[in-house]
């Protein structure tokens, strides 16, 4: 079993659920109830923003499944590039969110931790 990838998987679950819940309660509901965001149809605007927000939560959960599988089954050489790409995606998200929010979003800590754990799991394989 690869403990590094298992830990990254758990953090992905925490990140995905946290992103969905905090986004709904702290951002989307308050923002959408003000009536500020309307394109042609207020309901469509709300649905589009909500869907766009929750796609990232689904990506977290998909990454968790992939990482859990490889934590338990091992990482064959053919899967290594995909896991490196996943680590790079979380590192890029860390940089993007960190720069845009000037480091004021706690998600950057989760993102950099996930990227680091994936890299550790690829290097040390234990």
Rounded-to-integer distance, Cα 45 and Cα 48, Å = 5
- Tell me the per-residue pLDDT of 54-81, one tens digit each, with 9 for 90 and over: 999 999 999 999 999 999 999 999 999 9
Query: Which structure tokens are listed for 109?
Result: 């800590």
Number of CB atoms found within 10 A of residue 9's CB: 26
Residue spans of the domains in the chain: they are 3-124
Kindly tell me the burial class for residue 5, based on how many C-beta atoms sit within 10 Å of its own C-beta (0-12, 13-18, 19 or more).
buried
In this model, does residue 112 exceed pLDDT 70?
A: yes
- Tell me the per-residue pLDDT of 30-41, one tens digit each, with 9 for 90 and over: 877 876 666 677
What phi and psi, each to the nearest 5 degrees, are found at residue 84?
Answer: -60, -40
The better pLDDT of the pair 89, 103 is held by 89
Q: pTM of this prediction? A: 0.87
């Amino acid at each position: 079993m690869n403990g590094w990838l298992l830990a990254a998987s758990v953090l992905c679950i925490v990140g995905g659920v946290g992103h969905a819940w905090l986004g709904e309660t702290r951002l989307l509901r308050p923002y959408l109830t003000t009536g500020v965001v309307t394109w042609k149809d207020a309901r469509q605007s709300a649905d589009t923003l909500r869907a766009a927000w929750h796609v990232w939560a689904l990506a977290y959960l998909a990454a968790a499944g992939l990482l859990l599988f490889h934590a338990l089954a091992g990482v064959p050489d053919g899967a290594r590039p995909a896991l490196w790409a996943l680590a790079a995606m979380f590192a890029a998200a860390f940089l993007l969110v960190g720069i845009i929010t000037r480091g004021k979003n706690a998600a950057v800590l989760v993102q950099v931790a996930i990227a680091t754990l994936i890299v550790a799991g690829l290097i040390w394989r234990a």
